[in-house]
Chain A
Amino acid sequence: MNGLDQIFVGTGHWIAGLFPVYVQPLISAALEIAIMMAVFGGCFALTSVVERKLLGRMQNRYGPNRVGPFGLLQPLADGIKMLTKEDIVPFSADKTVHFLAPLALSVPIWLAFAVLPFGRNMSAIDLDAGILFFFAIGSASELAVFMAGWSSQNKYSLVGAMRAIAQMISYEVPLVLSTVPVLMLAGSLSLNEIVAAQGTYTLGGLARWNVFTPWGLAGLLLFLIAATAESNRSPFDLPEGESEIIAGFLTEYSGFKYALFFLSEYLGLFAITGLAVTLFLGGWHAPFRWLEWVPSWLWFAGKFCALIFLFVWIRATLPRLRLDQLLNFSWRFLVPLSLINILVAVAWYWSGSWKSPVALPVRWVLCAALVALPYHWLAQSLRGTLPPPRKYTYAE
């Protein structure tokens, strides 16, 4: 393609070419790691201020606007504050585990970015089982959260960690199940091949993104709900419910260790958003054939920012769930629906060979009904089984 599309790849090759041949792989690997850490570290800084600005606007106030133009230097001020704060470790805490927990949480999350394709020829490593790597790395965070909560020797921390782990395990099931249709129809676990499978165009020059099919749309919604819960964001932020358990497993952390937890939370959100873009929104592909001249990495960045904005919007809109609502919602609604979605994808695949002018509308209606009817029934059954309103003995 054009030069602008490959500008990062070309520059990387040029820099690596300045070094002797036997260190070139090392240099290009180091370059990739450095760029990824700079880009997503910067992304974290920017998101932390943009999110507060957006939340402020949605709540009819200004948000941070004191430090620098439009408050844009706020992350710098926050960073300096975090670095200079005293690092307090409780007397009864398990010192080693308390120290290791933030590291054990943040290191795997950085690794997860290695398999995401950010643009044409722009993924750090092309693993045959890329998505499996992503989920395997992500599963390490549960143990890190437990380490943080248990080592603090504080009941709020422990309760917060238990809530976080229960939530992560419950929502990992629908998260993984909602990706299964994509893997089945792409016939591969490699993220690059999943992107390539969405790279062709159909009638009217519209791209074949997975989200433009009934199962893809349902899958994306399921995936986004589960992703919100996996990254402990509102309305699923029970592990840090201030009004109930102070700050959950973060209660006994201060200074830069707290900042590391904060960083990992946002990086986890970025990684899973990147995965959603890759699996359902066509990765770095353009939505229409006539828009292909726009550089591929710009498409990825645009979709990425749109999804991040969606997450901020959800956070500003919805109140926090209760624990029983949270677990019921996952096991009684999301898990069955994502299993049904796999069957819908199979129906879509089998009906793909129909030769008829009305085949596409019929397929659409059939598959959409296959998702929508179970959705309705499951929602009804969920409403019926919810416990009656609680009686507060002392609060009335």
Chain B
Amino acid sequence: MLNEIAFLLCASLTLAGAVAAMMLRNLVHCALCAAGAFAGLAAIYLQLSAEFAGFAQFLVYVGAVAILIVFTILLTRGADIQTGRAGSSSSWIGLLVAGLVLACLVGSIMSSPGLVRLPAQTANAPVQKIGEQLMNQYIMPLETMGLLLTAALLGGVVIAMREPAKANPSAR
């Protein structure tokens, strides 16, 4: 009973945040609502007793991705630019794509053998076990991710690096 109430609360927070992120006019409000949706998703992970995934979701999405989105909005368009209607003339294409994606997802989930065969069970993944798996079985994907992120970081530094200015050598 308590579990259902908790799930309903988390799910409504996630859904309300996601809907508000799409519908609101002010871009910064949208970003903040998206952060709320991320937090709701983290709460659902925690409710499924996937501790590590929940905290990682909160740390990465609320702590980093939301800040990144907010900075991007402020640095590019300016938060005071209000768009007109929330919808656009080509919204039916978006609806079509969204419907197709939804149909694909629902189709594959419904046809998955896991849906009927596996009984519901509580996840039991201590952090130590996750770490051991990452360091043994999934070492290659982990290292590849690390390499990719390092490359992205270097790319970011290269883009942000100031050209050696001739006129103003004292710039930091």
**Residues of chain A whose beta carbon lies under 8 Å from any beta carbon of chain B:** 94, 97, 127-129, 132-133, 135-137, 139-140, 142-143, 146-147, 150, 165, 169, 187-189, 324, 387-388
A94–B39 alpha-carbon span in the complex (Å): 22
B85 cross-chain contacts in A, Cβ below 8 A: none
Query: Are A128 and B127 in touch, CB under 8 angstroms?
Result: yes
A146 cross-chain contacts in B, Cβ below 8 A: 67, 70
Q: A97-B28, A143-B62, A169-B67 are in contact. List 16 more A-B contacts (CB 8 A).
A: A127-B51, A128-B127, A129-B55, A132-B59, A132-B127, A133-B55, A136-B55, A137-B58, A139-B58, A139-B63, A140-B62, A143-B63, A143-B66, A146-B67, A147-B32, A188-B127
Cβ-closest 4 pairs across A and B: A139-B63, A136-B59, A136-B58, A136-B55
> Can you give 20 contacting A-B residue pairs, CB < 8 Å?
A94-B26, A97-B29, A127-B51, A129-B52, A129-B55, A132-B52, A132-B56, A132-B127, A133-B55, A135-B59, A136-B62, A139-B58, A139-B64, A143-B35, A143-B70, A150-B70, A150-B74, A188-B128, A324-B172, A388-B170
A19–B55 alpha-carbon span in the complex (Å): 34
A95–B107 alpha-carbon span in the complex (Å): 44
A133 cross-chain contacts in B, Cβ below 8 A: 55
Query: Are A139 and B35 in touch, CB under 8 angstroms?
Result: no
Q: What total of chain B residues lie within 8 Å of the partner, measured CB to CB?
A: 27
Closest to A389 in B: B170
A128 cross-chain contacts in B, Cβ below 8 A: 51-52, 126-127
Closest to A150 in B: B28
A324 cross-chain contacts in B, Cβ below 8 A: 172
**Residues of chain B whose beta carbon lies under 8 Å from any beta carbon of chain A:** 26, 28-29, 32, 35, 39, 51-52, 55-56, 58-59, 62-64, 66-67, 70-71, 74, 79, 126-128, 170-172
A135–B79 alpha-carbon span in the complex (Å): 29
Q: A136-B59, A150-B28 are in contact. Are A142 and B52 (CB under 8 A)?
A: no
Closest to A323 in B: B172
A136 cross-chain contacts in B, Cβ below 8 A: 55-56, 58-59, 62-63
